[in-house]
């Protein structure tokens, strides 16, 4: 099976009843600003460069962001922060992304998340994270050139540790933390959520520095 075929398979997943109900409810009820939009309301698979050396690993789709558009980090404040940063770093062909097919290409980067369906309150349960890890294992198996995991937030960081069978207590999350996991490096950042970027917990300069570090690690390993 190809990675494209796996992505298509992911979009049909209904393994987490609570998340299936929520993603579809949000898609029916919509936010007023998007009342004329047709929501994706399905699992959001990864996208990007299949030969990527850097994996950007998020938490889960935003209810009115990628649960609406079908592309990770697209259509909400997280994407409005992430894509300009990727463009400044030379990792994206354009500084914005509004929907799949908008012309955006990622260079050396693939984006996916620990959980592929929008969770209520942006909080997936441990069981839902564990269930969706099966897709992570399959998706990452196709990305043979990866050198750097860039985890956005603590849950993404912990999910990648789980993927490698490593204990959380031995590898605590911190902004800028780095751990060598075999031939790959786990680099972590505060999540690019509005909650962090609008409070100044994560600034554009801080995230630019993280991306430069990711590029440096990808080039040196
Ligand atoms: Fe399937 Fe993952 Fe969505 Fe659960 S979160 S229904 S495992 S795609």
Tell me the domain boundaries of the chain.
3-220
Contact 78, 67 (CB under 8 A): no
- DSSP lists the bridge partners of residue 148 as 54, 185
Q: Is 19 in the pocket of ligand 1 (CB under 6 A)?
A: yes
Considering the segment(s) 3-220 as one domain, its CATH architecture is 3-Layer(aba) Sandwich (3.40)
Digit-by-digit pLDDT tens for the chain (221 residues) are 899 999 999 999 999 999 999 999 999 999 888 888 899 999 999 999 999 999 999 999 999 999 999 999 999 999 999 999 999 999 999 999 998 999 999 999 999 999 999 999 999 999 999 999 999 999 999 999 999 999 999 999 999 999 999 999 999 999 999 999 989 999 999 999 999 999 999 999 999 999 999 999 999 86
Would you report the helix, strand and coil content of the chain in percent, each value rounded to 5?
40, 15, 45
Q: Is 116 in the pocket of ligand 1 (CB under 6 A)?
A: yes
Q: Is 117 in the pocket of ligand 1 (CB under 6 A)?
A: yes
Q: Whose CA is nearest to atom 3 of ligand 1?
A: 117
Task: Select from 19, 75, 59, 18 the least CA-distant residue to 42.
Answer: 19
């Amino acid at each position: 099976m190809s990675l494209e075929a796996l992505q298509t398979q992911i979009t049909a997943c209904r393994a987490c009843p609570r998340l299936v109900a929520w993603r579809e409810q949000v898609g029916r009820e919509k936010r007023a600003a998007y009342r004329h939009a047709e929501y994706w309301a399905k699992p959001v698979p990864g996208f990007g460069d299949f030969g990527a050396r850097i994996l950007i690993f998020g938490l889960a789709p935003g209810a009115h962001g990628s649960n609406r558009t079908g592309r990770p980090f697209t259509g909400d404040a997280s994407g409005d922060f992430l894509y300009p940063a990727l463009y400044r770093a030379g990792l994206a062909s354009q500084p914005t992304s509004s929907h799949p097919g908008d012309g955006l290409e990622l260079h050396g980067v693939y984006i996916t998340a620990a959980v592929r369906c929008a969770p209520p309150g942006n909080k997936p349960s441990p069981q839902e994270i564990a269930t969706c890890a099966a897709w992570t294992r399959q998706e990452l198996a196709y990305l043979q050139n990866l050198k750097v995991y860039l985890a956005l937030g603590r849950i993404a960081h912990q999910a990648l540790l789980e993927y490698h069978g490593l204990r959380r207590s031995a590898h605590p999350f911190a902004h800028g933390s780095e751990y060598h996991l075999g031939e790959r490096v786990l680099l972590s950042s505060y999540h690019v959520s509005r909650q962090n970027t609008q409070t100044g917990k994560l600034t554009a300069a801080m995230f630019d520095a993280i991306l430069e570090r990711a590029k440096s690690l990808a080039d040196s390993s």
